Structure 1
């Protein structure tokens, strides 16, 4: 049978099993109550509820699953205009605590007044009918980016590994839920949640993969979408092989920021006196670890940890520490990508959604050619992100990807840093082009993953807040410096 696959590395955080939680009341809206104990918050108290949706939207009267949602109610009901649904990315990231996360990091008070912030575990995640591929710590599966392939033989070896992972996921999917995990079904779920909340329209703020979900909702339900903000964009409503290959572009475009930072601190870290020397250090350490791992850190983990270290300047210090330790053969500090094997549930969801969204090629030669091209074009990471994944051996998708619909209200704001390791600026430009007159692109002269609230650009913060609160979409594409 023909088979077929960023997300962001934040989904490496583990998730606990579901606990008993409030259930939805059919005709009275959700029954809000305390959130499960593992929904950790910093500054606010959230309410949670569950909302039933069809497992298969093509069979609305059939089996149902329950999705858990959270709510941070408007701080000023007199100014409330509706709900703002949130998605932190992934696919595979839990979003129940996300309203608190944004509030604790300075979400403007005018937005907190204007909306109930609605977080959620989308289908398959955490407390929403979770799925599992049975990944274990011993297995050491590292998720959404395949290993760096030094030659065609390495791609062939990865194909065998990817096939085993796809078969493992299929074997663990005893109840058949995985085939229903897709961006299209998650968008349909959003509309069910909208109806359960009693709203005629909903606004949306999504980061990274959340940009794909927001684009899908705005395309499938244009007249029910209010104000849509998509931040750090993958370029479409789904992640395909071209999207994965753009990770290598993002690495190349963002790495100079880290290299400059490290060069300025050569006296402390010894990684190179110039950005060019820091780049040479990267290649030297990667090659050394390919040949002889240090303390369990091989070339794949080193490259992946460096990739994760480019997500924001706050990670630069730990990344430099890790390089320093690898170089000296000492104990390697824990870094975002090099910690213990990632949680089973997030990576299982990432695979299911990514593989179900697109009909991936099963031809190993396709990936060998791509790896050879990107190894030359993007030498730092191209031979990893172009490599073959379990999606090449996944069952064919149930439906084609959601097409971006440019026929609808002008209500989409596209936010994008100029330098982003996982969703480079090209992704934002692509999505803006596909939406046509419906969208405006805000390009930020910044580095890292995440713009609104998560970044520090005042222009982007004000532009987005004005849109969410007052509906002021910029008259044209905007450059924030």
Structure 2
């Protein structure tokens, strides 16, 4: 996962139990409903209380003002041993605004992994009032994230960064990844249980404690993987499910981002065409080719000599992270801000004294800071618990980077380098979830999605045999519903809202236009 704009970007996510518990009547990997050890969790009393935790908790105060209630439920650390250690899982509940027409309970996960969700459920209510009218919205901080028994390894960095221009900068990423992994060594006893499978089981414990026979679900980016895992483990406990920008479940893990460079480059080329039409404002080139050449020269120049941008230093280690912000959206406002950022970087590479834009200043400040909110550590722990690193030999990654220097020069060193999972102190407790089911659900996504690429969405569509897919054509954005993280599209919103309010899936796949 790549951290940009001060948060874990869901684009890269992607990211991100036990056969002894499985019976002939239980979905593979699920927990039998009659398991006596789980009964105390499934039937626990939920003690609801206010969400604000102290005078500085502005998010809790906003939830309270919106009428939300919060709680902490108990769940097993290891579902194979429900009588063993336990953890706390924090949730918020926003009641349906139209109680007379309430349909049920909807769980929301906007992505990550590693993002707290309690507060983000309020953003969903604001963005989709039609949905908020019909559902009690549950925002669950996934295990070890936010307020759910947080996992903090006290990491000194919020990202590994790019492998850079040469062997020396690659070795810097190796040293940092190894050091970060070693910081988590003291948490060995919990790391194998940070998996998405266990988060899905936590969701089902909460479903049962709420007294709900079935739950609805809305997930985007990594949240689509969590949704797929839940439908695989608990197919009879889902009502209406929407997956926005769906990950290919077979690809999720520490190397999910490895092949994203070309898709981000395609998004970069789309922006370049936009900037070329506005050369009078940004002076980056009057054709797409000229603007792309300017990016190439910027990458080469900073690869040779780092530059100052205000009080910050931009080098081959962090430049690709700044350029990655092209994935933030494809509307005029977002592209204008990105163009202004690139213009500052180009001028700095030419030797001009420059000041960063407010966005550049914030991103560079965030990238230089320690992992104070533990987002990067939690995100990594989830990815490492879901699937082991493809290789624990750094040379494998360096060879891959060198092999793709020509066809993936800007983003390849960022996406293909080592991660802390390469040196992780534990291995997954379970194999990855094999998603293949016929649960009815709705998928939406864009053909130019730079993070959950469209071919991966189609692969997920094939594995989810009961799904219908509504495709937004001509858009280069990650997530498409309700304008939560990217520009709104009325056609997509209508399709999602109709399904979530009526329960009627489209009779066939369809398309929307950007």
Aligning the two structures, in what range does the TM-score lie when normalised by the shorter sequence? 0.7 to 0.9
Partner of 1:16: none
* Among candidates 335, 338, 341, match of residue 316 of structure 1: 335
1:198–1:25 distance in 2 versus 1, CA, 3 Å? closer
Structure 2 counterpart of 1:353, from 375, 379, 382: 382
String of CA shifts for 1:186-241, please: whole Å, max 9, x gaps.
Answer: 11111011111110111111111111111110111111111211112221176235
Of 284, 296, 303, 1:283 maps to 296
Contact 1:211–1:231 under 8 Å retained in 2: yes
Instruction: For residue 218 of structure 1, give the secondary structure of its aligned residue in structure 2.
Output: helix
**Residue 397 of structure 2: which of 338, 361, 367 is its match?**
367
The partner residue of 2:442 within 385, 402, 413 is 413
Matches within 5 A, 1:88-237: 88-105=110-127, 107-109=128-130, 111-136=131-156, 141-143=157-159, 146-150=161-165, 155-171=170-186, 173=187, 176-236=189-249
Instruction: Give the distance between the partners of 2:270 and 2:370, measured in 1 at CA.
Output: 27
**SS where residue 431 of structure 2 aligns?**
coil
SS of equivalent to 1:39 = helix
Instruction: Give CA deviations for 1:103-140 in whole Å, capped at 9, x if unaligned.
Output: 223x042x22221111121111111111112123xxxx
SS in 2 for 1:158: helix
The correspondence of residues 265-284 of structure 1 with structure 2, limited to 5 A, is 265-284=278-297
- Corresponding position of 1:398: 429
Task: Kindly indicate whether the alpha-carbon contact (under 8 Å) linking 2:192 and 2:427 is maintained by their aligned counterparts in 1.
Answer: no
Give the Cα–Cα distance (whole angstroms) in 1 for the partners of residues 104 and 47 of structure 2.
Answer: 16
CA deviation vs aligned residue, 1:431-475 (integer Å, no higher than 9, x gap)? 11222x221222212221211102422221111112111122222
Q: What is the rounded CA distance, in whole Å, between the counterparts of 2:242 and 2:257 in structure 1?
A: 22
In 1: Cα distance, 2:71 partner to 2:256 partner: 34
Cα distance between partner residues in 2 of 1:403 and 1:453? 30
Q: How far 1:82 sits from its partner (Å)?
A: 1.1
CA distance in 1, matches of 2:272, 2:496: 31
Task: Map 1:53-92 onto structure 2 (within 5 A).
Answer: 53-92=75-114
Offset at 1:78? 2.1
- The question of 1:301 aligning with 2:321 is answered no
**How far apart in 2 are the matches of 1:25 and 1:371?**
48
Q: Is residue 2:475 matched to residue 1:478?
A: no
**Alignment counterpart, residue 430 of structure 1, candidates 459, 478, 497:** 459
Q: Which residue of 1 aligns with 2:356?
A: 332
Normalization by structure 1: what TM-score?
Answer: 0.87
Which whole-Å CA distance do the structure 2 matches of 1:348 and 1:134 have between them? 8
Q: Classify the secondary structure of the residue corresponding to 2:468.
A: strand
Normalised by the length of structure 2, the TM-score is 0.82
Does structure 1 retain, via aligned residues, the 8 Å contact 2:67–2:95? no
Q: Which runs of 5+ in 2 are unaligned?
A: 9-40, 349-353
Three-state SS of the structure 2 residue aligned to 1:310 is: helix
Q: Any conservation in 2 of the 1:194–1:200 contact (CA below 8 Å)?
A: yes
Contact kept in structure 2, 1:188 and 1:217, CA below 8 Å: yes
Q: Tell me by how many angstroms 1:67 deviates.
A: 1.1
Comparing 337-346 with 353-362, which one deviates more in the overlay?
337-346
CA contact (8 A) 2:248 2:459 kept: yes
Contact 1:304 1:337 in 2 (8 A): no
Q: How many residues align?
A: 454
Whole-Å separation in 1 of the counterparts to 2:67 and 2:318: 37
Match of 2:27 in 1: none
Report the secondary structure of 2:430's partner residue.
coil
Q: Is the 8 A contact 1:271 1:277 kept in 2?
A: yes
Cα distance in 2 for partners of 1:369, 1:476 equals 44
Taking a change above 3 Å as real, the CA distance of residues 63 and 377 of structure 1, as seen in their structure-2 partners, is same
Deviates more, 1:384-393 or 1:319-328: 319-328
Tell me if structure 2 keeps the 8 A contact 1:215–1:237.
no
**How far apart, in 1, do the equivalents of 2:498 and 2:147 lie?**
34
CA distance in 1, matches of 2:227, 2:441: 9
For residues 157-178 of structure 1, the C-alpha deviation after alignment (integer angstroms, 9 at most, x for no partner) is 533332222112224x27x333
Distance 1:177 1:9, change over 3 A: farther
**Which residue does 1:461 correspond to in 2?**
493
Residues 210, 121 of structure 1: alpha-carbon distance in 2 compared, 3 angstrom cutoff: same
The Cα shift of 1:376 comes to 3.1
Deviates more, 1:375-384 or 1:116-125: 375-384
Rounded Cα–Cα distance in structure 1 between residues aligned with 2:2 and 2:202: 20
Please tell me whether residue 12 in structure 1 is matched to residue 7 in structure 2: yes
2:31 is equivalent to residue 31 of structure 1: no
- 1-structure distance, mates of 2:4, 2:198: 23
What do residues 384-437 of structure 1 show as CA deviations (whole Å, max 9, x unaligned)? 21122111111221111111032x43x2222211122222222211211222x2
Moved more, 306-315 or 388-397: 306-315
Separation of aligned partners in 2, 1:224 and 1:476: 24
Q: Deviations over 1:349-406 (max 9, x none)?
A: 1110011111212133432343234333333312321122111111221111111032
Q: Contact 1:8–1:90 (CA<8 Å) still a contact in 2?
A: no
SS in 1 for 2:145: coil
Cα distance in 1 between the residues matched to 2:406 and 2:6: 30
1:226/1:249 CA distance change after superposition, 3 Å = farther
C-alpha contact (below 8 Å) 1:133/1:348 kept by paired residues = yes
Q: CA offset at residue 338 of structure 1?
A: 2.7
Report the aligned-residue RMSD. 2.4
Counterparts in 2 of 1:308 and 1:53: CA distance versus 1, 3 Å: same
**Is the 2:105–2:137 Cα contact (8 Å) retained in structure 1?**
yes
